[in-house]
Amino acid sequence: MKERFPARLSASETGWTERELLEKIRGKDAAARRLFYERYAGYLTAVCSRYIPDRHAAKDVLQESFVKMLPALDRFEYRGEGSLRAWASRIVVNTALKSLRGKIYFTPVEGLPDLAQEEAPEVEKVPAKVLQGFIQALPDGYRTVFNLFVFENKSHREIAQLLGIKEDSSASQYSRARAQLARQIKAYLKEHE
């Protein structure tokens, strides 16, 4: 006999672990699919908006990501608590990068001197929302390379392969993103002393 669930289930109501949620989804449980979306949509929206600052475009990328994820859950290999969320994040990042391909303008940096390494500003004194705004305001190339390097732990070699650019260009874009963010953070801290 098939189990019956209410139309909406929260994580606290079910108490399901990722593994249990995955098993319910694989069992074609519609309520579990809804819960999968509800449990991860907020986090994945934040991941997506690191790459796609336009809210409407980010929603489109997120929807496309979930359309890819749901049928692929049958092939997902569970590797412990947190692996489902990490897998979903990778799909969102890859979908966001795919949507940016050909649209990213990488600020030319050839022939420009390297920026001096400055002392790192006190980032912990800046609210997360403000930092996110600074990152989203970066030029597309800076923002994309910065996010891949900092949040996805990609090397410049991997970033270069993903984006079809030179490894040196990745390093330059990252360095300039960091310098721009440092200036913005210092200005913010000075203004909010």
Both 131 and 171 in a single domain? yes
Both 91 and 31 in a single domain? yes
Q: Is residue 92 part of a domain?
A: yes
Q: Is residue 107 part of a domain?
A: no
pTM listed for this prediction: 0.76
Q: How many CB atoms lie within 10 A of CB 129?
A: 8
Q: Is residue 78 part of a domain?
A: yes
Both 134 and 85 in a single domain? no
Instruction: Name the pLDDT band for 106 (thresholds 50, 70, 90).
Output: low
Specify the number of domains making up the chain. Answer: 2
How does pLDDT run across 158-182, given as a tens digit for each residue? Answer: 999 988 889 999 999 999 999 999 9
How does pLDDT run across 27-83, given as a tens digit for each residue? Answer: 999 999 999 999 999 999 999 999 998 999 999 999 999 999 999 999 999 999 999
Both 24 and 91 in a single domain? yes
**What is the distance between the alpha carbons of residues 29 and 33, in angstroms, rounded to a whole number?**
7
Instruction: Name the pLDDT band for 114 (thresholds 50, 70, 90).
Output: very low
pLDDT at 131: 92
Q: Is residue 16 part of a domain?
A: yes
Q: Is residue 109 part of a domain?
A: no
**What is the distance between the alpha carbons of residues 40 and 89, in angstroms, rounded to a whole number?**
9
Mean pLDDT score of the chain: 85
**What is the distance between the alpha carbons of residues 116 and 105, in angstroms, rounded to a whole number?**
24
Both 29 and 95 in a single domain? yes
Choose the final residue of a domain: 100, 135, 160: 100
What CATH number does the domain containing 172 carry? Answer: 1.10.10.10
Q: Reply yes or no on whether the pLDDT at 128 is more than 80.
A: yes
Q: Is residue 165 part of a domain?
A: yes
Both 181 and 127 in a single domain? yes
Q: Is residue 114 part of a domain?
A: no
Q: Is residue 17 part of a domain?
A: yes
Of 84, 82, 86, 81, which is closest to residue 47 (Cα–Cα)?
A: 86
Q: Which domain does 183 fall in, by range? A: 123-191
pLDDT at 101: 79
Angle at 43 between CA 41 and CA 47, to 5 degrees: 110
- 41 against 116, higher pLDDT: 41
pLDDT at 164: 86
What CATH number does the domain containing 61 carry? Answer: 1.10.1740.10
Both 95 and 136 in a single domain? no
pLDDT at 112: 43
